[in-house]
Structure 1
Amino acid sequence: MNHQPRKKKSLGQHFLRDKHMISKIAGSIPAEPEDRVVEIGPGDGALTEQLVEVYPNLTAIEIDPVMVEHLQQTLPDLHIIKNDILKVDWSDVLSDNTRPVHVIGNLPYYITSQILFSLLHYRSHLETATLMMQKEVAERIVAEPKNKTYGILSVQTQLMCTPEILFDVPPQVFSPPPNVMSAVVQLRFNKPSLACSDDHLKTVVRMAFNQRRKKLSNALKRLNTELPADEFDFNLRAEALAPAMYEKLTARLEQLGTFEPGMA
C-alpha cells in the first residue's frame, strides 16, 4: 500500500508494519480456508491483506470511517461491517453461518477487557479467537490462583474457554510503537456450558475481587444471604479460589435462591 491513512489517536491505533510478524499472526489461526474468519479492527489492512488470500469468507469490523474507505479502495471484495465492536451483535453477524467461526484482531488497549467479555458472551457462536493485546492483560487472562495478577478476567475467561499465550509482540513492529510489550493470546471456546448463569457468576466473582483483601465472608456480604459455610471456606480471600470453585459456589447459591430477578 502506497497511501497510508491518517491514524486517530482517540482510537488507540498502533498499526503492524513488520511483515514477518504479520505472517506469524496470520498463520496462527487454527482455521480451514472454508471457515468464517472475522477480523476486529483491521485498521489499514496490513494483516487483512494476508488473511483475505487464505480465507475468502473474511469479514472485517471497523469503526473508523477513514480506515473503512481505505479498505474499500484497496480490498474492494472485502466484507466490512462499519460499527463499533462493542455494539456488534455477534448472533446477528453469524446467524447465517454453517462453518466454524474464528476471530482475529489487534485489540485497542483501552477497550481490551470489554471486547474480551463481549466475545465470551457470544462464545457459543465461536470456535476460536486469536487476539493481540497488551502483555500485562494476556498474563492476567492465564494467571493461576494465589497470584497477584489473578482476578476477574482470569476466572471468567478460564471458565468460558481455554486461553493460551502464543508469543510476544515487541513494540518496534508497530507504527507508532506502543510503550508496552504486546502478546498474542488464543482462546479456544471448547468448554461445556457452565453449571450456573453467566450473570450470576459475574456477580459473585466481581463482588469477591472488588474487595480482594477481605475474606470472602465479608466480600460477599452484599449477597444478603446465609453463605453455605459447611461446603466452602469463606475465610479465604478471592485469589485463593480456583475458577471451578467459583462456578460451583455460584451454582450452589442459585440452588439456595440467593439471586433476585435482575440481580447481576
Structure 2
Amino acid sequence: MKKENSNKLRENADTGTVRAKKHLGQHFLKDEVIAEKIGDTLSMQGYKNVLEIGPGMGVLTKYLINKDVDVIAMDLDTESIAYLEEKYPNKNLKILEADFLKYDLSQLFGEAQFGITGNFPYNISTQIVFKMLEWKEQIPEFTGMFQKEVAERICEKEGSKAYGILSVLAQAFYDAEYLFTVPPTVFNPPPKVDSGVLRLRRKENFAIACSEKMLYKVVKTAFQQRRKTLRNSLKSFNLSDKIKEDAIFGQRPEQLSVSQFIALTQKLENDAISTHR
C-alpha cells in the first residue's frame, strides 16, 4: 500500500499537480510576478542561508535558488515534497519533510545565521512568528505572506485597535515593515481574504533591558484585558501601593509603545525585588 502511495505521489509530480489540502491551510500562489517580489524581500545581508516554510509547488522556491544562497524548503505535505524533488533537483536546495513548529532549527544550518520566508499557512502563521522569535539570535531577517490583517497587526504601532501582543513582541527585537497587499485571485484555491507581505529586520542591538520571559508575561497579561487600565489588568503581579501611583498604570495597553512596555517590565521587576526585601 505504501508503495502504491509513493507511485501516486510520483505521478502527481510528473504531471505537475499537487492537490491543495484544506487541513494544511494550503493556497498555492500561482502569480510569478508576486513570487519574484516575495523572493526579493530578503536582502541576504549578513547571511547566506534561507529557510522557506511551506513551499507547496515551488513558485517562490524557483526564485530563491537563483540567488547566491543555500535554501532549505520545509513542508509537511508529502505530495509537495515529491513534486519539489522531481522538479527542482538543485545543488543549493535541500527539501525537507518536517513540521516547522516541532523541528529543532539548530539542525538546519548549525550555528550559522539564516533568513526565513514563505507563503505561510494562515492557520499557523502566528505560531510561526512566535517560534521565529525564540530563534532570533540566528535569524536576522524574516519575510513572508500572511493573512492581511495578521501582517498589519504585526507591523502596527501603538494607538491602534490592531496593535497587540504580536506587534509588541515582534517589534521589541525587529523593525517591522508592511510591504504590499496580495489579492485572493492569485492563489489556487483562492482564500476568502486578502494577503499581506511583511519584512522583519532584526535590530542592530536587539538585547532588551529587561527579562524577555517577564516581558512576554507582562504583554500577554495586559492585552488579555485590553480595555482595562494596566492598574487593573496587571493585578496578578501584586503591585505595591507605591508603583500603582505611577501614571503609566492609568493607561491601557494599546497606548504603550514597545519601549514603554520594556520600561514597564523593568518597573515591575524592580517593584517585585523591593517588595520582597
Provide the TM-score with structure 2 as the length reference: 0.86
CA distance in 1, matches of 2:272, 2:179: 41
Deviations 1:156-215 (A, max 9, x none): 111110010111111111111111111110000124211122221111011111001111
Identity of aligned residues (%): 39
For structure 1, the 5+ residue unaligned runs are 259-264
Paired residue type of 2:80: M
CA distance in 1, matches of 2:128, 2:59: 21
Which of 196, 214, 222 in structure 1 is aligned with 2:236? 222
Q: Does 1:205 align with 2:224?
A: no
Q: Does 1:123 align with 2:143?
A: no
Q: How does 1:1-264 map to 2 (within 5 A)?
A: 2-31=15-44, 35-77=48-90, 78-97=93-112, 100-190=113-203, 191-226=205-240, 228-257=243-272
> Measured at CA, do residues 257 and 32 of structure 1 come closer, stay the same or move farther in structure 2, by a change above 3 Å?
closer
2:111 and 2:138 in contact (8 A); partners too: no
Deviations 1:102-128 (A, max 9, x none): 111111111111101111111110121
Between Structure 1 and Structure 2, which shows a larger proportion of helix residues? 2
1:216 and 1:237 in contact (8 A); partners too: yes
Query: 1:56 deviation in Å?
Result: 4.5
CA distance in 2, matches of 1:75, 1:50: 11
CA distance in 2, matches of 1:56, 1:144: 33
Provide the TM-score with structure 1 as the length reference: 0.90
Deviations 1:65-109 (A, max 9, x none): 111111112123431222111112223323242xx4211111111
Query: 1:257 deviation in Å?
Result: 3.4
Equivalent position SS for 1:158: helix
CA distance in 1, matches of 2:171, 2:47: 28
Paired residue type of 2:125: T
Q: Which range moves more in the overlay, 109-118 or 18-27?
A: 18-27
2:117 and 2:144 in contact (8 A); partners too: yes
CA distance in 2, matches of 1:142, 1:232: 27
Query: 1:32 deviation in Å?
Result: 6.0
CA distance in 1, matches of 2:85, 2:46: 22
> Measured at CA, do residues 3 and 33 of structure 1 come closer, stay the same or move farther in structure 2, by a change above 3 Å?
farther
For structure 2, the 5+ residue unaligned runs are 1-13
Q: What's the Cα RMSD here?
A: 1.9
CA distance in 1, matches of 2:46, 2:61: 14
CA distance in 2, matches of 1:232, 1:206: 20
2:20 and 2:189 in contact (8 A); partners too: no
> Measured at CA, do residues 125 and 34 of structure 1 come closer, stay the same or move farther in structure 2, by a change above 3 Å?
closer
Query: 1:252 deviation in Å?
Result: 2.5
Equivalent position SS for 2:248: coil
Equivalent position SS for 1:246: helix
CA distance in 1, matches of 2:157, 2:47: 36
Query: 1:29 deviation in Å?
Result: 1.5
Look at both structures and tell me which one has the larger radius of gyration over its CA atoms.
2
Equivalent position SS for 1:61: strand
